[in-house]
Structure 1
Amino acid sequence: MEFSPFNPIVKLCLQGMELEAQNNREKALQIYLEGWNEANNDFEKYLTSYYIAKLQDDTQQKIFWLESTLSFALKSNSPAVNTALPTIYLTISECYKSLGEFEKAEELFAQSEAHRYSPSDNGPFYHGTKADLSIGDFLVAGGKSNYQNNLKMNHIYFTALVDGAGLAAALANGEGTERVYVVEPTGSYENDPNLTDKKFPGNPTRSYRSEAPLKIVGEIKEWAHRSPEEIQKFKEKLDNNKGEIIN
């Protein structure tokens, strides 16, 4: 499945994170367990078990939930999950190390390192904007940030999720028509550090950035459009986010 901030299970995880930020760990755990019980697929099971594991004080219980996280992550076999594998393996490794099981810890550490250098996402890739562009045009770095005034961006951003690009188009500055273009990177690219291993493990939004231009090779006409009310709530959350943009 594709990651979406509008997914009911993802919403529960976000609610749990807010409760954690308020130091209400007990209520947060209840919310995560609710998400676990309502999860309908491997990705949702992976995500909820990850947050349940984080709140376990008992190391054996933490290992149990982390190994559940790993199991569902491997079952889903998705680019939205694979970027989290190094962190999951490393966290389990540290748990075994704390128990004095050093051989097991070393095996898991080796797995963490091996997955850290797995191949990158191969796309296809998309860019959402309100700019009216044509096939063959190039998108380049240097534009203004949609999320922080007076910030000139050193990279051009894109995603492998059509709906994610559609959301970016809805949030983009300007009054033009929302457009989602199919793009090809002309140079190397990296995980978007503003999203990777932040609220969610790895890079579930499959968001990337490059200093090199993106070539427009097509346009998508259909994606999951969100209501004006949903977009407004999303904008308000972004406005309340005081974190620094990694540029």
Structure 2
Amino acid sequence: MSSEAMAAPDNTTLRQFYHDTRTDLKPGDLIAAGYSSNYGTRKQASWVYLTGTLDAAIWGAELAAGTGRERIYIVEPTGPIVDDPNLTDKKFPGNPTQSYRSREPLRVTGEVTEWQGHSPERLKEMKDHLERLKAQGIEAID
């Protein structure tokens, strides 16, 4: 898939997308750009992010800032989506994490309530890695 915009899937597409957060949402709610990011310095996000893999959503939920419960929502894009350059291109060529972003809102259609997180050791490794990037001045979300 290229970084060019692709149309949001229609209702006949069996493809499922996820959005990870610590925010309490319900079906029908819209997740829009313009709010504080779940990651890094929590600056205002100009995009809204989604993934096509549950594993990527689990990582996102575990790493999201905030004090709320880790949540993974099933979402549908309301507009075009593009590859997320934070996780594609040279880092993961071909977008195996199926990570995307959009300027248009995502509509919550459900929630994944049962999922298995990573081991405490693996989660610590990832958080340590992110701290090293932060110390180098690397902010993953734009």
Larger fraction in helix: 1
Q: List gaps (5 residues or longer) in structure 2.
A: 10-14
Q: Which has the higher contact order (CA 8 A, sep 6+)?
A: 2
Structure 1: stretches of 5+ with no match in the other structure: 1-82, 87-115
SS in 2 for 1:229: helix
Change (3 A) 1:201 1:217: same
2:21·2:72 contact (CA, 8 Å) conserved in 1? yes
User: Which residue among 47, 68, 82 is the counterpart of 1:176?
Assistant: 68
How high is the sequence identity, in percent, across the aligned residues? 46
1:16-63 CA-partner distances (Å, limit 9, x unpaired): xxxxxxxxxxxxxxxxxxxxxxxxxxxxxxxxxxxxxxxxxxxxxxxx
1:218 is aligned to: 110
Letter in structure 1 aligned against 2:27:
I
Structure 1 residues 244 and 177: alpha-carbon distance in aligned structure 2, compared to 1, 3 A threshold: closer
Find the residue that maps to 1:230 and give its secondary structure.
Answer: helix
Q: Does 1:233 align with 2:132?
A: no
Counterparts of 1:150 and 1:223 in 2: how far apart (Å)? 25
2:46 matched to which residue of 1?
154
Question: What CA distance in whole angstroms lies between the structure 2 residues aligned with 1:125 and 1:150?
Answer: 23
Tell me which of 140, 149, 152 is aligned to 2:32.
Answer: 140
TM-score by length of 2: 0.82
Higher CA-based Rg: 1
Distance in structure 2 (CA, Å) of the matches to 1:198 and 1:120? 24
Query: Residue 185 of structure 1 aligns with which residue?
Result: 77
What is the rounded CA distance, in whole Å, between the counterparts of 2:113 and 2:36 in structure 1?
Answer: 25
Cα distance change, pair 166–153 in 1 and its aligned pair in 2 (3 A)? same
Aligned length: 133
- The RMSD of aligned alpha carbons is 2.3
1:128-184 CA distance string (max 9 Å, x none):
111111111110112223332152110010100112111101111112111111000
The answer to which structure has the higher strand fraction is 2
Counterpart contact for 2:76–2:108, Cα < 8 Å: yes
User: Corresponding residue for 1:54?
Assistant: none
Q: Would you say the 8 A contact 1:135–1:216 is kept in 2?
A: yes
Residues 150, 179 of structure 1: CA spacing in aligned structure 2 closer, same or farther, 3 A cutoff? closer
**1:72-87 equivalence runs, <5 A:** 83=1
Matches within 5 A, 1:37-48: none
Q: TM-score, with normalisation over the residues of structure 1?
A: 0.49
State whether residues 146 and 173 of structure 1, in contact with CA within 8 Å, keep that contact through their aligned partners in structure 2: yes
